[in-house]
Amino acid sequence: MIRILRVFLLFILFQAFIFPQHSKLFIKVDSISKYIISDRFQDLKNSHSDIELIDSMYLFALRLNQYDIRETLLSLTFATLPFNNVPITTPFIGIKINYPLLSPKQNIFSQKVKKMPKTFFFDSPQTEFGDKDKLAHYFGNAFLAYSLNFLELTSIIGYFVEVFEETFRVSKIDARDIRANHLGEIFGKQLLKDSKALPSKLFIMYNLQNIRIRI
């Protein structure tokens, strides 16, 4: 298990070299980003909820990847990242590094972040940014759960990433990130049983359950 965790960490650290700008993954990430800023997506945004927009993004990526679920989840993970570099502060010596992530050109990236769904949890912050950063957590953990077919391991990896972020001072461990991780794991497991499952099901069920509890 430790070996798998190390491999996953290397994947996070070196993905910019593994997936260069001309790679197939980059082309898919770029295409999904362009879809999010398209007039078609904007028309949907004017008449549909953010949860429905996430389904639209998923279905677009699914067709783009020729219905390969694993590739769909992977490309969505990178396409929904709301940042294109990670400011890392190394432990002990305190060196700050802006580590580049796989991302479309800056003008496309900026527009994509602006138009991404942001309010899909019952308690999503009512701000300009909202919960945009939770989508990459959701799809990333769905990818791991679907690929590894081992829910407990994906939980460990999801938490491992949180600890990694805090250790290198990327961000503090966030319970809301862990929530998105967990829901993503469940979605990945659902896809193993039902390839027609949509992301909206998990968001709707979670929101309804918690709204009832609060009432």
Which domain covers residue 139, as residue numbers? 2-214
The better pLDDT of the pair 37, 178 is held by 37
What average pLDDT does this structure show over 127-147? 91
- DSSP code of residue 169: T
Which residue has 């298990």 as its token pair? 1
Where does the pLDDT of residue 210 fall: very low under 50, low under 70, confident under 90, or very high at 90 and above? Answer: confident
Is the pLDDT higher at 158 or at 134?
134
pLDDT value of position 212: 61
What was the pLDDT predicted at 211?
A: 76
Q: How far apart are CA 162 and CA 151, in angstroms?
A: 17
DSSP code of 1? -
The 10s digit of each residue's pLDDT in 92-106 is 566 676 666 778 899
Contact 153, 1 (CB under 8 A): yes
**Stretch 115-130: mean pLDDT:** 95
The pLDDT value recorded for residue 122 is: 93
For residue 43, the model assigns a pLDDT of 96
Confidence of residue 172 (pLDDT cuts 50, 70, 90): low
Measured distance CA(123)–CA(170) in Å, rounded? 24
Q: What is the count of structural domains for the chain?
A: 1
Average pLDDT over residues 1-11: 43
Contact 189, 147 (CB under 8 A): no
Q: Give the integer Cα–Cα distance in Å for 183 and 177.
A: 10
